[in-house]
Every structure is written in structure tokens, then in C-alpha cells.
Structure 1
């Protein structure tokens, strides 16, 4: 896997709209996987922001499940001086921090198109195995069972 794949995708996102300040990709536990930022005068705890964005997204997702109102698309937090958007990317959460005058429709479009691409790269990065068709055991599991059977016979 190309470890720079995340950086390439996030760089494309941050360049897509002038109002985007930061882009963070975190996993569902809040661990920041990758991030890009435009120049800023003040230090920001990117890991903390990613963790909070992931937690807020996951909590909102659970709230929607509890209310049986469908899948969560995007969480938007609007502040006086900016906005924070978060969307699912498979096993991750994509977070975009913008200024207050950003084109919200463009951000939603960028997030939706990038989410599927990030989902594929993230699945490969995390080593997620596709489900086995038919529900049978994989070769590794069959080998393990055979080895355990040999031990039982000994």
C-alpha cells in the first residue's frame, strides 16, 4: 500500500475549496491517521480535534440508530467563526474544518466523493479482509483447525 495515498487525497480535498482550513482523517476510536492544514498563526491539537470529531460523529450515528431514522450522512457544527463537518469513511471519520463563509454544498459534495475513495484506502491500510463468500472457513482457519486436530490426536 502507498502510505502517501492518504496525504494525496487529503491534499486534494483541502485545495478544492478556499474556505477549508484543515482536513483530518481519524479512525472510529479517535486516532488520527492523517491530516493536512493550511498555514495558521495559532497551534492546534490536531489529534485532539480528530478524536473529538470522531466521538461526536460516532455518538450521533448511535443516536440515529436508536431512533431508527437511518444512516448518518454528515455531522455539521456551526460556530461564529467557522464550521466543522464530519462524515463516515468506512472504518474512519473524515473531518473538515472551514471558515464561516464556506460553500456548504461544495463541502458536502467534496466529502461524499472523497469518502468512498478514503474508505477503500483505509480498508487496505487497516488490512480489512473481505467477508468470505458462503460463510465457509478460509484456508488459514482450516490449516489452524487441522493443526489443532493433530495436537489433540498426539
Structure 2
């Protein structure tokens, strides 16, 4: 498995960081993507679609919030008939997207996502050796 930067070690570390999110009852998928919409790590067709769309949506919401002087968004939560899509920007270059069932524990997901975001931030700032 090779990510967009060509480093297998980063992929493995990111999978390990996202694993606690995936273990939460009701979480269907977790995806790390660049703000350019490219999934990092393993990917399938759905991951590509979710990555591209999520990056565009988060970018648009961030721009809107800036334009109305309402601070900076921390998370974006989209509620649908079938579940929720939770997005959190990491730095200015990445976004984590969590897809859930309707009955997922959002509080637990938010807490775990916050920890995962900090861990991913540390991973992407660590120089590879």
C-alpha cells in the first residue's frame, strides 16, 4: 500500500490512528484526505468520491464562515436519513471524514476524532527517516 506521498509507513501509522474510530459501534468508514480531495492510504472508488466531495464542502463552509466573521469551523456534521458524515480539518492540508450509521454515539466519535486529529497532525509534522 502506497499513499499519495509514496510512503508505506505513513499509511500504516494513519491506519493505526484511525482504528479506534473504526471500532466505535455505528462507524462505517474513516477516510483521511488532502484538502485537494485525494484520499491518503488505501482507497476504493467510494473513498475517492467521499474525499473529493468532503474537501470541497469543507472548503466552502470554511470560506463562508470567514466571510461572515464567525470564527473558524472545528467540525462539520451532516445529518442524513441514514446516518451522519463528520469532517474535521487537520492543519490546512488534510481532512478526516467519518461516516456513521444513524444510531452511532456522536459524543464518543467527537472525542475519539479529536484525539485522532492530534495524532495525525503529529504524524504529518514528523520528518520521515
Give the TM bin, normalised by the shorter chain.
0.7 to 0.9
* 2:16 counterpart of 1:8: yes
Instruction: Return the alpha-carbon distance in structure 1 between the equivalents of residues 37 and 126 of structure 2.
Output: 19
Structure 1: gaps (5+ residues): 37-42, 128-154
Instruction: Return the alpha-carbon distance in structure 2 between the equivalents of residues 55 and 45 of structure 1.
Output: 15
Query: Highest Rg: 1 or 2?
Result: 1
Structure 2: gaps (5+ residues): 1-6
Tell whether the 8 Å contact from 1:92 to 1:122 is kept in structure 2 after alignment.
no
Q: Structure 1 residues 74, 35: CA separation in 2 closer, same or farther (over 3 Å shift)?
A: farther
Q: May I ask how many residue pairs the two structures share in their alignment?
A: 119
Tell whether the 8 Å contact from 2:20 to 2:112 is kept in structure 1 after alignment.
no
Alignment of 1:1-154 (within 5 A): 2-3=9-10, 4-15=12-23, 17-34=24-41, 45-90=46-91, 91-124=93-126
Structure with more contact order per residue of length (Cα contacts < 8 Å, sep ≥ 6): 2
Kindly report the root-mean-square deviation, in angstroms, between the aligned alpha carbons of the 2 structures. 2.0
Using the size of structure 1 for normalisation, the TM-score is 0.70
Runs of 4+ in 1 over 4 A off after TM superposition: none
